[in-house]
Structure formats: C-alpha cells, structure tokens
Structure 1
Amino acid sequence: MRPAGDAIGYYRRLHCFALRCVAPHRSPPAPQFDNAMIITSLLDTDLYKFTMMQVVLHCFPAAQVEYRFRCRTPDVDLVPYVDEIRAEIAGLCELRFSDEELDYLRRLRFIKSDFIDFLSLYQLREKYIDVRPAASGNGEIDIEIRGPWLHTILFEIPVLSIVNEVYFRNTQRVPDYTEGRARLADKMYMLGGRPEYAECKIADYGTRRRFSKRWHEEVILALKDGLGSQFAGTSNVYYAMKHGLVPLGTMAHEYLQACQALGPRLRDSQVFGFEMWAREYRGDLGIALSDVYGMSAFLRDFDMFFCKLFDGARHDSGDPFDWGERLIAHYEANRCDPKTKTLIFSDSLDIPKVLKLFERFHDRCRLAFGVGTNLTNDLGYVPLQIVIKMVRCNGQPVAKLSDSPGKNMCDDAAYLAYLRQVFEIPPPAAD
C-alpha cells in the first residue's frame, strides 16, 4: 500500500529523480556500440581476482590450472563470433597495468607492495587460452584456459565480458536503451522510494554478464547519482577507481576448489583454504564463501574459531532464506552475536528479492546485497548464462558441489562421487 498525503508526492518526485539520474548518460542513437576494443584496462574485472591472485603469488606460485567455458542458455549459436572473440582476446593480451592503475591498487589497504611489483610486469598471454567451435556442432563454443594459475587467473571476467558484448552487439544492433533506462529507474524507485528500506544497500556485481561496457558504466553512474548511500559500491575495480566508488570482493569458488589439490588432504581442503586466507589477510577481507560443498559441509567446517575470526559469509546458491536462518542459528550456537556479522547475498538477485531478504533479516544481522545481471543486462533481452570455471588444478579434477546442482561443473563422475563421500553430501535427486 502506498502512503497518503505528502508521502505520495515525495515518492513521485523520487521516481522522477531516478529517471533524471539515468537520462544524462544517454548516448546518440548511432552507433549503438563502440568500435574500440571492449576491454581497455586490466582493472576492468572483479576485485576478488586481485585478492585471490595475491594469495596465489604468496602461497601457490607454481600451481597449474585449467578452466573451461560453458553457456547454460539453450539454443544460443556463438560459433559465428569465434573470430571476433579471438580478436578481442588478442587485444586483452596486449594490455599492461598503467602507473595510475598500480598507484590505485597500492592505496588499497590489503594489497602488498611485492604484489604491485609483480603486477607492474604482468601481461596475459594468448598461448594459455584457446577459443574454437565445439566438436558437437550445435552452436556451442569451447574456451579452454590452461597454464600457471598466477598467469591465467585474470582471464575469466574479461573473457566473459567479451563473449557477452560480442554476442549482443551482433544480435541487438540497435539496443533498446530506453527500455533499459525505464527498468533501471523502476528498480531505483523500489529501493529508494520507501523509508523502511532506507538502510537497504546494493552493490554492482555485474561485470561478467553485462550487456556492454558502455551500458555497465551508465548503470553505475545512475545508481551512484540516484541512490546515494544506498549504492554501496561495485566489484569492478576500474569503475571503482574511475568514479570514486568502494571496490568490493573477497574470494571466489576457484580459490576453495584449487585447495582440493593444494591442501594436505581433501577432507580438510575447505579449512585449509580459510586458514591460508586468514594468514594472508590477518583479519581483513573476512567474508567466507559458503557453497563450494553446500551449506551443511560449510557449517561443519566453519567452527567457533572461524565464526569469530571471519566477519561473515556470502550466499551464492540454494535457498537464500534457509541459508540465512541456518547461518544465524549457527552463529548463536557458537556464541557469536549475529548482529555483529555480515550476511552477503549474491545469487541471481533482483530488487524484489533483495527487499524480501532485507525484510527477513535486517534487524538480525548486518546485510549486503550484490546484484549482477539484473542490473547490467536488463534491457528486455534474454541474458546469456555463461560461466568459466576451474576444472583442474595440478592435473587433478576439482569441483564445486553447491546447493544448486545446475551450477556444478565437472566431467569426472568418479571424482564427484568421491567428493560427495568425503564431505558427506548426498547425491541430488536427479542422480
């Protein structure tokens, strides 16, 4: 129900303000896509790539890995764009960090000087990545990344951004930015239009599946101008630097997956990963990823020591409401006040879901919401559900067994069965 009296006028004014915040960033009708290279900075990626990369440099510099690409969206033909994708990747591999970019990274409190020295010499190498039509001949493409983890970790996010933009600039040559701006204004209105949601903050997590680089920046500027303090920041380091935003991120699945091959034994790999992270950051960047082996296995390993050591945890698969209730109960059972801990939700969020989660948990813990595709690729077209996942480390299969089976990606059935046995994870109903 909408409020009466002056409040209605306030909300109407807020909605008009949201529309005005989007409007200034409009571009001429044509051309609809820039002709320049898509990725023009190695900072155009998610912060957690750098936080993980620093751990790799200090702890696992010799690790060898393999990543593979998958498009989960059915009936998408990417084969006609293989040459274009290769050309963009070739351009990516020409990039180096500028002095300005290195100075920005140096100012982040958790980045160490020797890592900056390493990045000053860093360059991605084409020899580590291969793009080709899939042998199945059904329109799918294979992207394989093989090589030292330290020298391949920065491929994932920009390559996914390249695939997305190449696809959409060929299939949507005149994008409906008017529709995109209207949808964005509606989201800003939902979030900022009611006083009870004033403390609900969102962050941009949408680099990898954005419609285009240009649209991504327009969305960020609109959120910054229209939401003020309700826009917490962005995972994208380049736009954080360019627009004075807070860069956000800690660890991703690949880090804990790699620990399956790098730790002392498989059963202890999750504990090993958390301990190595804490040793590197000494209490900083204290958000643990909870869904590499599912929530039950996470809670078994996330004992009182980790409950008190880490600032919180991030949800990325399964029912978010059930996850939040279980984590709060776990904190209470381990004598930690949930109100001092941060629960981060980042799995396929839209603003209505954000608001429902805020209503459920806002007075029981600290909250953060990372919204991705629904912000940066919502112009009325079906977004691509594409991923690049680590599948091997040091020649050994690695895998994620999350609470959303569709997110699992491993072609070694024997290893998956062994992983389930070790972590006491029952097979999904479809098995």
Structure 2
Amino acid sequence: MIIRSLLDTDLYKFSMMQVVLHQYPGAHAEYRFKCRTPGVDLVPYLDEIRSELETLCQLRFDEDELQYLRGLRYIKSDFVDFLGLFRLNTKYVELGPSPEAPGEIEIHIRGPWLHTILFEVPLLAIINEVYFRNTQPGIDLSTGRERLAAKITLLHDTPGYADCRIADYGTRRRFSRDWHREVVTALRDRLGPQLAGTSNVALARELGLIPLGTLAHEYLQAHQALGPRLRDSQVAALEAWAREYRGDLGIALSDVYGLNAFLRDFDMYFCKLFDGTRHDSGDPFAWGERVLAHYRANRVDPRGKILVFSDGLDIPQVMKLYAHFQGRCQLAFGVGTNLTNDVGPTPLQIVIKMVRCNGQPVAKLSDSPGKNMCDDPAYVTYLRQVFEIPAESAG
C-alpha cells in the first residue's frame, strides 16, 4: 500500500480544488499520462499499478486530517466539509497498454474536475514506486544517503548562504514514500531554518513543517475553456484566484504561454496584488532579470516581491541563483526530483497533464518546448496566434 492518506499529495491540489468547488463546480476535465523517459517498459507493472489505484480510491479523510486542514488559514470550512464526504473513484480512470507504442502505457482521467483533480500526484507517486521496487529490488540506499548528506553540507556549511532556503517539491517523482519521508526528515533536522517547508501536506503535518504551494499549470490551462474569451483566459484565472484568496497564496505561475505573454497580462494591478511569481521553464537567470525589470517598470519595488524557482533544480543551481539575485528581491527555491529520487537509478520523467476542459482542448506553451503537451495540433497553432507566440519559441 503506497498511498496511505489522501493528504499524501501537494498542497496546490487542495488550493486549486477549493477554487473549483466555489467557482467551477460543474467543470469537466480530462488528463493524460506521458512517460518522457525513452525505453521504459511499464506494461509489466500494470496490474500492480491498478491494484494500488483501487486502494487509493478506498481512502477517506479522517477527522484528524480534516482538523489539520481547517487549521490552515486559507482553507475554508465548507471545503473541508466537502472533503469529509470525498472519495476518489476508479470509474474516472482508464489504464492499459498503449495499442500504438509497445512497452508504453496509457492513462486517461476523465470526469468532473472537482472529482479528478486529486488523482495526478498520488498516481504518479504510485507509478514511480511500483517501477523502482520491481526494477531495483532490495536497493542499497547508502548512495542516496551519501548524496543527500553532501547536498545538505554544501548548502548549510558554505559561507554566505545562511539565508538561502529551499523547499521539498518532490512528491510526484519520489523513489518511494519511505525514502521521501527520510529525505524530508533529514532536511528538517540538519538544515533547520534553511528548510522552508514541503509541498507534501502529509509530511508537513507529520513533521511539523509548513505546507507550501499555490497553483499549477492545469489551473491556468482550464481557463482557456472557462474564461470569457481565450485572449483573456490568463487574466481571468488570476482574477478568480484573487477572488478566492483575497491576497493570500499570491504566487503567480508565469510560463503557461511563455514569459512574453505573461508579462503582457501581469500589469501593475497584478504586480501589486500578487506576492511574487514562479519560474518553471526556460533560462532562470534571464527570466528573473526580466521579471525584476517588469516590476520596476510598473513602479513596484522588487525587493518586496518573491521570485520562486522550481524548474529541475539541484543544490548548486539553487546557490548560483541565490548568489545572482540575493538582495534584489525575496527568493524561494523548490527542489524536487534531485532530492527525492537521487539514489542511483535514473529517475523517470513522467507527467499527468490536463489536455481538455469542458470538452475543449487546452494547452501549455511554455519556454521549454519539451514540456508542452496537447492532443490537438490545430488548437496549439490557434493558441500561438492568439497569444502572439512564435512557433520556434514555444515548441
């Protein structure tokens, strides 16, 4: 049994789910799985994955978990009441071998957004753990522990980095649940205040850490179908977030349509309203410089704003970014796979992405073309035209 609590997921799933309950309870979503690592055969593990999925769908929130959620300042009581009745349902998930690509599996999640939004993170964690416990049985984790210790020492003991803080963002691609817990416990015990928290709500609760997260790409993508018109969908998504949280959880994600389109929409109002922005694709140094310049152009002092970096980070890259931007703004770093799946074997690059909302295609056109995922090429072309994104820069 890999997932033992519905809290074993990332906080932004709950923060987005609350918006869905209050503002889009009738929305319908479709998600699709993709393994970006070539040559990986997941078909032999389908029965095991399916069994873990069925166990996941038997879980309910217990009263202690609900009380923990009630204690988070931005979670509203009616949402917690809803979660008290909530259960994931296997009828929304289709899982099987790909008829077109031998060795690959297909996962389609279709159903009400409110009832499908919580599948992504635990299902990815299940696939990872099933794969590695079958391909790496009885693995000696000493290599992982040595690597983790070296990362902690580098960040903790290097002069000038006492105020450099990282957070664990590694739930989706972790080697295993138990290793994830060991990693975060070691970070807490040895980094102290240099560990800002974790995106994993179950571990935050268990280990006395701050749960961290705001919104993900799917939230902005969905507004391509939910907003007033496509060109205004990014603005509509940010406005809806502000209505829900009234200034709380104020980190805007900047790469659904690329940085140029984001900055066009992120005007003085949003610059002042949101606490900061998050980087998740493209050159992080160039991104940061442009965002800081954008704040200054909108008469906002960047020193009061947060830049959150979360794209494939390791500790040396965190330290380079910190040294570059230190003192010019507030900084936050979310480190994922490099912390929770660096034990020897090559981590899987697996994702579950929203591909449709209310029957309409949705897409992400980030500054890293390899991250783009849509099942309708014609729609992608149209999206580029609407947001003035050249094909060569958006993939």
With the length of structure 2 as denominator, give the TM-score of the two structures.
0.99
Q: Distance in 2 between matches of 1:247 and 1:214?
A: 18
For 1:388 and 1:283, locate their aligned partners in 2 and report how far apart those are by CA, in whole Å: 29
Change in CA separation of 1:137 and 1:422 when aligned onto 2, cut-off 3 Å: closer
Q: Report if the CA contact (8 A) 2:367-2:394 is conserved.
A: no
Which residues of structure 1 form unaligned runs of 5+?
Answer: 1-36
- 2:32 equivalent to 1:63: no
In 2, the alpha carbon distance for the partners of 1:403 and 1:174 equals 39
Displacement of 1:194: 1.6
Aligned identity (percent) is 72
Q: Does 1:272 align with 2:236?
A: yes
Residues 8-407 of structure 1 aligned to structure 2 (within 5 Å): 37-407=1-371
Could you tell me how far apart the structure 1 residues matched to 2:277 and 2:137 are?
A: 40
Displacement of 1:137 in angstroms is 3.9
User: Deviations 1:382-404 (Å, cap 9, x if unpaired)?
Assistant: 00000000000000000000000
- Given that 2:367 and 2:393 are in contact with CA atoms closer than 8 Å, whether structure 1 keeps it comes out as no
Structure 2 CA distance for aligned equivalents of residues 334 and 231 of structure 1: 32
Structure 2 counterpart SS, 1:425: coil
Distance 2:376 2:120 in 1: 22
CA distance in 1, matches of 2:217, 2:258: 12
Partners of 2:369 and 2:394 within 8 A in 1: no
Q: Distance in 2 between matches of 1:429 and 1:292?
A: 13
AA in 2 matched with 1:149: W
Moved over 4 A (4+): none
Distance 1:319 1:175 in 2: 35
Q: CA deviation at 1:174?
A: 1.7
Question: Which entry has the higher C-alpha Rg, 1 or 2?
Answer: 1
Using the alignment, how far apart are the partners of 2:196 and 2:295 within structure 1? 25
Output the amino acid matched with 1:425.
I
The structural deviation recorded for 1:429 is 6.4
Q: For residues 139 and 334 of structure 2, what CA distance do their matches in structure 1 show?
A: 25
TM-superposed CA distance for 1:138, in Å, is 2.0
Aligned-pair CA distance for 1:362: 1.1
Q: Is the 8 A contact 2:32 2:107 kept in 1?
A: yes
**1: CA distance, partners of 2:394 / 2:74:** 43
Equivalent-residue separation in structure 1 for 2:59 and 2:375 (angstroms)? 33
SS, match of residue 195 in structure 1: coil
Check if 1:415 corresponds to 2:374.
no
TM-score normalized with structure 1 length: 0.91
Q: Aligned pairs, how many?
A: 395
Aligned CA distance change for structure 1 residues 125 and 430 (closer, same or farther; 3 Å): closer
Alpha-carbon distance in 2 for matches of 1:162, 1:191: 30
Distance 1:345 1:327 in 2: 12
Deviations 1:237-261 (A, max 9, x none): 0000011000000000000000000
SS of the residue corresponding to residue 428 of structure 1 reads helix
Measure, in 1, the Cα distance between the counterparts of 2:71 and 2:138: 40
Amino acid in structure 2 at the alignment position of 1:263 = G
What's the CA shift string for 1:285-328, capped at 9, x where partnerless?
A: 00000000000000000000000000000000000000000000
The alpha carbon displacement at 1:430 in A equals: 9.5
Query: Is 1:428 aligned with 2:392?
Result: yes
SS at match of 2:85: coil
**Alignment RMSD, CA only?**
0.8
Contact 2:368 2:394 survives alignment (8 Å): no
- CA distance in structure 1 between the aligned counterparts of 2:11 and 2:159, rounded to whole angstroms: 31
Q: Partner of 2:391: helix, strand, or coil?
A: coil
